[in-house]
Amino acid sequence: MNFYPEARQPKRRLSSTNPTLHDIRLQLFKAVGGNFIILQVLFFGLFCYIFGSLFQQTSHTHNLTVAFVDYDGGAIGVAVRDAYKQLQGDSFPGLIEFSPEQYAQPSTLESGVCHVDFWAALYISPNASNRLSEGLRGGAASSSYNRSDVLSFIWNEAHYSTTADSVAAKLEALSEAARIAYSKNNGPAALQTLPAGDVAAVSVFSNPWQLVSINLQPTTQGSRLIYNTLVIILILLQEFFYLGIINGLYAKFKIYGRVRPHRIAIVRLTVSVLYTFVGSLSTTGAIWAFRAGWDVNGVQFVLTWMALWLFAHLNFLVFDVFSIWLPPLVVPMALVSWIMLNLTSILLPFALQPGFYRWAYALPTHAIYNVLVDIWSRGCNPVLHYALPVMFAYEILGLAISALGVYRRSHYGFLDLEREEKAFQAKIAESLAMALASEESDEERRVGREGEEGEAVAGDEERGAVVPMHRRGTITTVADREEMAGRIWRETSKLRQDRSRTEAEANFGGPCFDLAINRSTDHLQPWWLISEIVPAASPLIGQNARQVL
């Protein structure tokens, strides 16, 4: 096989008993074992945290409160109360009855649902029991009986859509149980007065009411399932990976050691603002493109865009803080932890989670999701009084700590660049010394040859012979110096290439990735590092070196 032939070469391969390999093997296994334990503990903890938030979700359903107001005060209200007594439990929403004096009109109940005082509101229309009794007697009252003006409930499907759907299903079950309870309580008496030949009266008896749904914001599109999951994850990953590219570029070109810190901070802020601006626009556009008849307008589009822009930028700053103050190997672990903690805060409403998880009110993802629900529901989730302060707190703190981190990176970047320049100068001086030593050796040999020629000329003169004289010293010296200049240039070119590779691999903290376009950075090598040393040896060499560089 001709694939990777050097992989099978025995050259420089160490045997398993080699002492050097013994030390390397020990360090390797320590590193592998340590990371093995850390990652296992980290992901086990994250799994426990996520599953803990979903643990016994059904038994927390009673925390989803539903307001109940009986504007009728008759037999239907009694049937509803009896039905709730049968269904009441940990797995059924809690029905809290209010007097008509507390909520004088159904519109006040709608305002309560809109302000998230409760998840839904169930009410019985005024005089509903009397109309039902008249409808059971037959005649015109039976024909004109309106089943939709008896029992109604108000809810907001945009607020945790799957949870809201489950509450609506539970209220449907309560309505059906109330119908059975009404028939049990009032059926015998109604059958005595029910006209046998009146089809309308019989229909009223068999189906006394239909539960009416008043949905403040219908949200039935399939994409609603990922608004509080994949959409958030992709936004966070989008910021993290671009930050990795930015850090990689700054490390590759040694920006922190070459540019003033305040300029770096301004440029990084400008780039991050523009990137998150466009990214949030793309996200909002994708949500709107697949809204599938969802009743939202252009104003809500702009508000959603602005909210996601703020959320994306504050997370960009959070990841930048991670990359500044955490060791590079820990940054991916911090990313995973940050995503999982934030995602858990919006998987379910806090009413269905253990009380411990309410600390996530302080996380930006919980804030942004509630802001989005408020926007999509046209103000029917007023949480801006705490959500916006939470997000702006992350934004302001992120800006301050990120700016401080620029100065930190510039400090260490300048020290590293200065150290590399000194090492580079030392290498050039070493190459120059070797070249000068070689020139001196050639000069000694040339002087020796001239001495031998002088002795030969003296002997010829004694014999009376005429020997032509040649002036070779100057020509030889110039040629040797030209040759030495070329040698120095070759050596320094090799050093520049080595340093360029080192620059490309350098990283001053933060996730970095190999660039798709890897252009050479040889032109970044300052020429004065050579020209300050070379002229000290010879003006001619210094001039040639400058011309070549």
Whether 429 shows a pLDDT value over 70: the answer reads yes
CATH classification at residue 210 = 3.40.1710.10
Last residue of a domain, one of 189, 216, 243: 216
**In this structure, what token pair is assigned to residue 540?**
């001619």
Phi-psi region of 512 (alpha: psi -120 to 50; beta: other; left: phi over 0): beta
Where is the domain boundary, 216, 238, 266? 216
Pair (399, 387) in one structural domain: yes
Place of tokens 């103050």: 325
- Does residue 432 belong to any structural domain of this protein? yes
Reported confidence tier of residue 419, pLDDT bands at 50, 70, 90? confident
Question: Could you tell me if 81 and 212 lie in one domain?
Answer: yes
- Does residue 126 share a domain with residue 112? yes
For residue 8, tell me if it sits in a domain: no
User: Cα–Cα distance between 437 and 441 in angstroms, integer?
Assistant: 6
What is the model's pLDDT at position 271? 97
Same domain, 531 and 434: yes
pLDDT of the residue at 131: 93
Tokens of 155: 């809810």
Task: Assess contact for 240 and 272: CB atoms under 8 A.
Answer: no
* Domain assignment of residue 428, given as a range: 415-447+478-548
Helix (H) or strand (E) holding 70: strand 65-70
In a domain, 17, yes or no: no
* Same-domain check for residues 254 and 368: yes
Residues 406 and 430 grouped into a single domain: no
Q: Give yes or no: residues 207 and 239 share one domain.
A: no
Question: What's the distance, CA 50 to chain centroid?
Answer: 18
DSSP collapsed to 3 states, 406-430:
HHHHHHHHHHHHHHHHHHHHHHHHH
30 within a domain of the structure (yes/no): yes
- Global pTM reads 0.80
The count of residues in the chain is 549
Contact present, 26 and 56 (Cβ < 8 Å)? no
Considering the domain architecture, whether residues 49 and 175 belong to the same structural domain is answered as no
Per-residue confidence (pLDDT) for residue 470, from 0 to 100: 47
Q: Say yes or no: 145 and 242 in one domain.
A: no
Q: How far, in Å, CA of 201 to CA of 199, rounded?
A: 5
Residues 66 and 205 both lie in one domain: yes
- CA separation for the pair 280, 368 (Å, rounded): 13
Q: Of 33, 101, 89, 32, which Cα lies nearest the Cα of 62? A: 89
d(CA 217, CA 380): 9
pLDDT tens track for 480-538 = 666 666 666 666 666 666 655 555 554 444 444 443 334 444 444 443 333 444 444 44
In a domain, 16, yes or no: no
Q: What is the pLDDT of residues 221-259, one digit of tens each?
A: 999 999 999 999 999 999 999 999 999 899 888 898 889
> Based on the structure, what is the number of domains in the chain?
4
Tell whether 5 is covered by a domain.
no
Residues with Cβ within 8 Å of 75's Cβ and at least 6 positions away in sequence, in order, are 129, 132, 133, 182, 185, 186
Instruction: Please report where in the chains the tokens 């509803």 appear, as a residue.
Output: 80
Distance between CA atoms of 199 and 504, rounded to whole angstroms? Answer: 87
More confident residue, 320 or 432: 320
Q: Which of 178, 198, 216 is the last residue of a domain?
A: 216
In a domain, 312, yes or no: yes
* Predicted local distance difference test score (pLDDT) of residue 540: 39
**72 and 166 housed in the same domain:** yes
Closest CA to 256 of 506, 517, 2: 506
pLDDT for the residue 548? 35
Distance (Å, whole) CA 387 – CA 367 = 5
* Residue 122 belongs to a domain: yes
Regarding whether 203 and 116 lie in a shared domain, the answer is yes
Is the pLDDT assigned to residue 325 strictly greater than 80?
Answer: yes
How much helix, strand and coil, in percent to the nearest 5, is found in the chain?
70, 5, 25
Mean pLDDT across the chain: 84
Span 21-31, average pLDDT: 87
